[in-house]
Amino acid sequence: MQRKTSIPLEVLRYGAIFLVLGFFVFPIFWMVLTSFKPESAIMVSPPRFLFTPTLDNYYHAIVDKNFFFYIKNTLIISVISTAIVVFIGSLAAYSFARYNVGDGHILFFILSTKMMPAIAVILPYFLIFRDVGKTAVGKALHLGLDQHGALIVSYVMFNLPFAIWLLVSFFQDIPRSLEHSARLDGLSRLQVLRKVTFPLAAPGIAVTAVFTLIFCWNEFLFAYILTRKLASTVTVGVESFFTLQGILWGPVAAAATISVAPMLVFVLVMQRYMVRGLTFGAVRG
Amino acid sequence: MRKSLASASLLALLSAGGAFAQECADPVEITWSTIAGFYTDAMANFVKSFEDDNCAKVTVVNIDNSQLYNKQVIEMVGQTGAYDVVTLETAEKAEFAENGFILPMTDFFADKQELLNDVSPTLRAMTVEYKGDVWGLPYYTYTAGMFIRQDLIDDAGEQAAFKAKYGYDLADPTTWEQHRDIAEFFTRKAGETLKGEVLTKDFYGVGLMAGPFPEIQDELSAPLWGMGSDWLTAEGTVPVDDVEKVLGEYVEELKFAPPAALTVTYDGVMNQMKDCQIAMTHGFFLDQWPNAVKTEDNCPGAKVAAIEAPGKKAYVGGFLLAVSSSSAQPDMAMKFVAHIGGYEIQKQFAELGGASTLTSVLTDPAFATSERRATNGQYATLNMIFDSMSGFSSNLFKTPFGAKIYNTMQIPLQAAAAGQITVREAAEQLAADVAKICGGPCPIAN
Amino acid sequence: MSAAPESAGLAGSPPPGKSGMSDRWFSILLIAPAMLITLIFAILPLIQALDVTFRMGDLSRGKIGDYVGLTNYRIVFADNQFWQAGWVTLKFTVVAVGLEMILGVAIAFLLHGATFAKGITRSLLILPLATSAAVTGLFWRYLYDTQFGVLNWVLGLLGLPEPNWLGDYTIALWSVVLFDIWQWTPFVALIALAGLQALPKEPFEAAELDGASKWRVLTTLTFPLLKPVLFLVLVLRTIDCVRLYDAVAVLTRGGPGTATETMTFYLYRTGLKLFRMDYASTMAVFFLYVMLVAAVFALTPLLKQFTDRAKEA
First to last CA, chain C: 27
Which one-letter DSSP state was computed for residue B357? -
Please tell me the distance from the alpha carbon of residue B209 to that of residue B265, in angstroms, as a whole number. 5
Identify any residues that bridge with C67 across adjacent strands, giving them in sequence order.
C55
CB within 8 Å of C19: residues ≥ 6 apart: C8, C11
* Chain B contact probe: residue of C74, C147, C155, C245 with most B CBs at under 10 A: C147
pLDDT at C87 > cutoff 60: yes
Q: Given its phi and psi angles, is residue B303 left (phi above 0), alpha (psi -120 to 50 degrees) or beta?
A: beta
Chain B residues lying within 8 Å of A145, measured CB to CB:
80, 82
Q: Does C275 touch chain B (CB under 8 A)?
A: yes
Q: SS3 of C199, please?
A: coil
Identify any residues that bridge with B405 across adjacent strands, giving them in sequence order.
none
**Contact between chains at B259 and C254 (C-beta distance less than 8 A):** no
CA C109 to chain A, closest CA, distance in angstroms equals 10
CB within 8 Å of C66: residues ≥ 6 apart: C55, C56
Instruction: Using pLDDT thresholds of 50, 70 and 90, give the confidence band for residue B115.
Output: very high
**Contact between chains at A44 and B74 (C-beta distance less than 8 A):** no
pLDDT at residue C181, as a whole number = 97
CATH of B144-315+408-438, one of 3.40.50.720, 3.30.360.10, 3.40.190.10, 2.30.30.100: 3.40.190.10
Query: Top-level CATH class of B2-142+316-388?
Result: alpha beta
- pLDDT tens-digit map of C147-166: 999 999 999 999 999 999 99
Q: Which of B259, B408, B412 sits opposite C274 (nearest CB)?
A: B408
CA C69 to chain B, closest CA, distance in angstroms equals 18
Amino acid at C118: K
Query: Chains meeting C at 3+ CB pairs closer than 8 A?
Result: A, B
**Contact between chains at B36 and A239 (C-beta distance less than 8 A):** yes
Apex CA B171: angle with CA B169 and CA B177, to 5°?
A: 85
Domains of chain C: residue spans and CATH: 71-133+171-311 (1.10.3720.10)
- The helix (run of H) or strand (run of E) holding residue B45 is helix B38-54
User: B344 and B112 in contact (C-beta within 8 Å)?
Assistant: no
Instruction: Using pLDDT thresholds of 50, 70 and 90, give the confidence band for residue A3.
Output: low
Q: Does A181 touch chain B (CB under 8 A)?
A: no
Picking from B428, B325, B395, B405, the residue whose alpha carbon sits closest to that of residue B130 is B395
Please tell me the distance from the alpha carbon of residue C113 to that of residue A3, in angstroms, as a whole number. 8
User: How many Cβ atoms are within 10 Å of C204's Cβ, its own excluded?
Assistant: 16
Over residues A125-139, the mean pLDDT reads 90
Interface list for C 18-57 with A (CB within 8 A): 23-24, 26-28, 30-31, 33-35, 37-38, 41-42, 44-46, 48-49
Q: How far is CA C189 from CA A9, B24, B385, C128, in A?
A: 21, 62, 59, 12
Q: What percent of chain A has pLDDT over 90?
A: 41
Q: SS3 of C188, please?
A: helix
Identify any residues that bridge with B358 across adjacent strands, giving them in sequence order.
B119
Please tell me the distance from the alpha carbon of residue B303 to that of residue A10, in angstroms, as a whole number. 58
CA C137 to chain B, closest CA, distance in angstroms equals 14
pLDDT at B442 > cutoff 80: yes
Q: Using only C-alpha atoms, what is the Rg of chain C?
A: 25
Please tell me the distance from the alpha carbon of residue B104 to that of residue B107, in angstroms, as a whole number. 8
Instruction: Using pLDDT thresholds of 50, 70 and 90, give the confidence band for residue A275.
Output: low
Over residues B234-240, the mean pLDDT reads 96
pLDDT at B236 > cutoff 70: yes
Whole-number mean pLDDT of chain C? Answer: 86
Please tell me the distance from the alpha carbon of residue C9 to that of residue C19, in angstroms, as a whole number. 8
pLDDT at A190 > cutoff 90: no
Instruction: Using pLDDT thresholds of 50, 70 and 90, give the confidence band for residue C44.
Output: confident
Please tell me the distance from the alpha carbon of residue A13 to that of residue C111, in angstroms, as a whole number. 9
Q: Report the range of poorest mean pLDDT among A9-18, A39-48, B214-223, C225-234.
A: C225-234
CA B294 to chain C, closest CA, distance in angstroms equals 18
* Chain A contact probe: residue of B2, B71, B80, B204 with most A CBs at under 10 A: B80
Chain A residues lying within 8 Å of C149, measured CB to CB:
47
* Chain B contact probe: residue of C74, C248, C274, C277 with most B CBs at under 10 A: C274
**Contact between chains at A275 and C113 (C-beta distance less than 8 A):** no
pLDDT at B37 > cutoff 90: no
Please tell me the distance from the alpha carbon of residue A158 to that of residue A140, in angstroms, as a whole number. 23
- Sequence-ordered alpha helix ranges (H) in C20-171: 23-38, 44-52, 71-77, 80-113, 118-126, 133-144, 150-157
Instruction: Using pLDDT thresholds of 50, 70 and 90, give the confidence band for residue B22.
Output: low
For C272, which residue in chain B has the nearest alpha carbon? Answer: B70
Chain B residues lying within 8 Å of C62, measured CB to CB:
77, 99-100
Q: How far is CA A5 from CA A12, A20, A52, C209, in A?
A: 12, 21, 45, 19
- pLDDT tens-digit map of B364-406: 999 999 999 999 999 999 999 999 999 999 999 999 999 999 9
Instruction: Using pLDDT thresholds of 50, 70 and 90, give the confidence band for residue C253.
Output: very high
Q: Report the range of poorest mean pLDDT among A103-107, B127-131, B241-245.
A: A103-107
pLDDT at residue A196, as a whole number = 86
pLDDT at A46 > cutoff 50: yes
Instruction: Using pLDDT thresholds of 50, 70 and 90, give the confidence band for residue B423.
Output: very high
Please tell me the distance from the alpha carbon of residue B359 to that of residue B357, in angstroms, as a whole number. 7
Tell me the domain boundaries of chain B.
2-142+316-388, 144-315+408-438
pLDDT at residue A90, as a whole number = 94
Over residues C168-184, the mean pLDDT reads 96
Amino acid at C305: Q
Picking from B292, B260, B287, B255, the residue whose alpha carbon sits closest to that of residue B276 is B292
Please tell me the distance from the alpha carbon of residue C258 to that of residue B419, in angstroms, as a whole number. 12
Over residues B7-36, the mean pLDDT reads 65
Please tell me the distance from the alpha carbon of residue B362 to that of residue B420, in angstroms, as a whole number. 43
Q: What are the backbone dihedrals phi and psi of residue C274, each rounded to the nearest 5 degrees, phi first?
A: -95, -15
Q: SS3 of A88, please?
A: helix
Instruction: Using pLDDT thresholds of 50, 70 and 90, give the confidence band for residue B64.
Output: confident
Interface of B with A (CB under 8 A): 31, 33, 35-41, 59, 61-67, 71, 74, 78, 80, 82, 140, 142, 201, 266-268, 270-271, 274-275, 277, 287-288, 290-291, 298
Q: Report the range of poorest mean pLDDT among A268-272, C107-111, C210-214, C242-246.
A: A268-272
pLDDT at residue A4, as a whole number = 57
Dihedral, CA of residue A174, residue A176, residue A178 and residue A181, to nearest 10:
170
* Chain A contact probe: residue of C1, C7, C31 with most A CBs at under 10 A: C31
Instruction: Using pLDDT thresholds of 50, 70 and 90, give the confidence band for residue C1.
Output: very low
pLDDT at C64 > cutoff 90: no
| Preceding amide of B443 cis, omega within 30 | no
Please tell me the distance from the alpha carbon of residue B344 to that of residue B174, in angstroms, as a whole number. 36
* Contacts by C23-26, CB closer than 8 A, 24 or more apart: C23/A99, C24/A99, C26/A99, C26/A189
Amino acid at B343: Y
Core vs surface per residue B237-269: b (16+ CB within 10 A) or e: ebbbebbbbbbebbbebbebbbbbbbbbbbbbb
Instruction: Using pLDDT thresholds of 50, 70 and 90, give the confidence band for residue C81.
Output: very high
Picking from A120, A94, A96, the residue whose alpha carbon sits closest to that of residue A108 is A96
CA A14 to chain B, closest CA, distance in angstroms equals 37
pLDDT at residue C8, as a whole number = 35
Question: What DSSP line would sit under B205-269, residue for residue?
Answer: S-B---SSSTTHHHHHHHHHHHTT--SS-TTSS--HHHHHHHHHHHHHHGGGS-GGGGT--HHHH
pLDDT at residue B358, as a whole number = 94
pLDDT at residue B40, as a whole number = 60
CA B426 to chain A, closest CA, distance in angstroms equals 28
Q: What percent of chain B has pLDDT over 70?
A: 93
SS3 of B368-381: the string is CCCCCHHHHCCHHH
Domains of chain A: residue spans and CATH: 56-282 (1.10.3720.10)
pLDDT at residue A192, as a whole number = 87
pLDDT at residue B329, as a whole number = 94
**Contact between chains at A239 and B64 (C-beta distance less than 8 A):** yes
Identify any residues that bridge with B102 across adjacent strands, giving them in sequence order.
B324
Whole-number mean pLDDT of chain A? Answer: 87
Higher pLDDT, C198 or B161: B161
Identify any residues that bridge with B28 across adjacent strands, giving them in sequence order.
B56
Which one-letter DSSP state was computed for residue B103? -
Picking from A179, A160, A159, A183, the residue whose alpha carbon sits closest to that of residue A171 is A179
Q: Which of C28, C143, C309 sits opposite A30 (nearest CB)?
A: C143
Over residues B29-56, the mean pLDDT reads 82
**Contact between chains at B411 and C257 (C-beta distance less than 8 A):** yes
Please give the interface size between A and B, counted as residue pairs whose CB atoms are below 8 Å apart. Answer: 71
Over residues C12-23, the mean pLDDT reads 53
Question: What DSSP line would sit under B6-18, residue for residue?
Answer: HHHHHHHHHHHHH
Amino acid at A15: G
- pLDDT tens-digit map of B331-362: 999 999 999 999 999 998 898 888 999 999 99
CB within 8 Å of B341: residues ≥ 6 apart: B115, B119, B136, B137, B138, B139, B321, B357, B358
Which one-letter DSSP state was computed for residue B111? T
Q: Is the dihedral of CA A126, A131, A136, A137 positive or negative?
A: negative
pLDDT at C4 > cutoff 70: no
Give yes or no on whether B2-142+316-388 and B144-315+408-438 have one common fold.
Answer: yes
Please tell me the distance from the alpha carbon of residue A218 to that of residue C129, in angstroms, as a whole number. 10
Burial class (CB in 10 A: 0-12, 13-18, 19+), C298: middle
Q: Which of B258, B419, B437 sits opposite C274 (nearest CB)?
A: B437
